[in-house]
Amino acid sequence: MRAVLVVNPQATATTPAGRDVLAHALASQVKLEVVETDYRGHALTAAAQAAVDGADLVVAHGGDGTVNEVVNGLLAAGPSGAVPMLGVVPGGSANVFARALGLPRNPVEATHVLLQAIEQGLSRRVGLGLVESGPSRRWFTFNAGMGWDADVVAGVDRRRGKRASPSLYARVAIARYARPGHSRPDLTVQLPGEDPITGLRLAFVSNTDPWTYLGARPIHLNPGCGFETGLGMFGLRTLGVPTVLRHFRQALSDKGVQRGKNLVRRDNVSRIVVSAPEPVRLQCDGDLIGERTRVEFVSVPSALSVAVV
């Protein structure tokens, strides 16, 4: 088996020692090439080249941004044809995709699980989300959104000198919400078989549950979502303090059941179209994509094979 290990050395929980242990362990079972990323988009390029070169496995060692880039590289030519299997060893602060797969947060323990999967020939097909906006396409593994969450991602990006952490995201989210005249976009959502839903102030799209984590606490927006279902949509008609606090408390509850008069929520949707009269920021898996006035979110079942026990 030919494998490529893509390592982001800047990820929160990635260390040279951990990289060496992982590379040594993998090299005992596969013919291994190691690529260390040194710029945004490098992991995508490396994964795409691995697919062209006929690699059997590409392992992403880093945070959710690294995993997202690797996935987009693997699927650069689409999900049909010979796409290498994905392996994940978490090395970031949230590691939402890895945790949704049931992988340990500890990189050494996750490496052990990956080696077991390789040795036993085990894998799992997972569905992914695809963002389509004009000629551009972007895959996402766990969530995407337009509005407040993308504004938070933009705020964190501006603090690149700091290590990303749950507390940093929380501080930026509160600051973004509390700033005078903060953006409250006017979003319209179109769902299959329904009339357009107008006047939404945010629209979050989930490919699995939890939507993300606040440290060890999962945040549930669409508990009915999973890698074997369609997409989930969570929208709010207002960002008033009572509404935001109500749904934040519900999101942190064990069951994550969401109810409220200002809530628009759907599970297992094949396609979601979000539009706005003015450009609104868009994020995928915690990476800022840019500003858009119209985006289609598409569910793609069984898009990728992941090495997992």
User: Residues 200-259: pLDDT tens digits?
Assistant: 999 999 999 999 988 888 999 999 999 999 999 999 999 899 999 999 999 999 878 899
Phi and psi for 147 in degrees, rounded to 5?
Answer: 110, -130
Q: Is the pLDDT of residue 80 over 70?
A: no
Please compute the mean of the pLDDT values over residues 47-59 and round it to a whole number. 96
The domains located in the chain, with CATH, are 2-122 (3.40.50.10330), 136-304 (2.60.200.40)
> Is residue 174 very low, low, confident or very high in pLDDT (cuts 50, 70, 90)?
confident
pLDDT at 153: 83
Alpha-carbon distance 291 to 156, whole Å? 16
Full-model pTM: 0.91
- Work out the number of other CB atoms within 10 angstroms of the CB of residue 63: 26
Please compute the mean of the pLDDT values over residues 75-80 and round it to a whole number. 80
Q: How many CA atoms lie within 13 A of 8 on its CB side?
A: 28
The residues pairing with 3 across neighbouring beta strands, listed in sequence order, are 32, 57
Please compute the mean of the pLDDT values over residues 96-119 and round it to a whole number. 95
Q: Is the pLDDT of residue 164 over 70?
A: no
Q: SS3 letters for the chain?
A: CEEEEEECCCCCCCCHHHHHHHHHHHHCCCEEEEEECCCCCHHHHHHHHHHHCCCCEEEEEECHHHHHHHHHHHCCCCCCCCCCEEEEEECCCCCHHHHHCCCCCCHHHHHHHHHHHHHHCCCEEEEEEEEEECCEEEEECCEEEECHHHHHHHHHHCCCCCCCCHHHHHHHHHHHHHCCCCCCCCEEEECCCCCCEEEECEEEEECCCCCEEECCEEECCCCCCCCCCCEEEEEECCCCHHHHHHHHHHHHCCCCCCCCCCEEEEEEECEEEEEEEEEEEEEECCEEEEEEEEEEEEEEEEEEEECCC
pLDDT at 179: 67
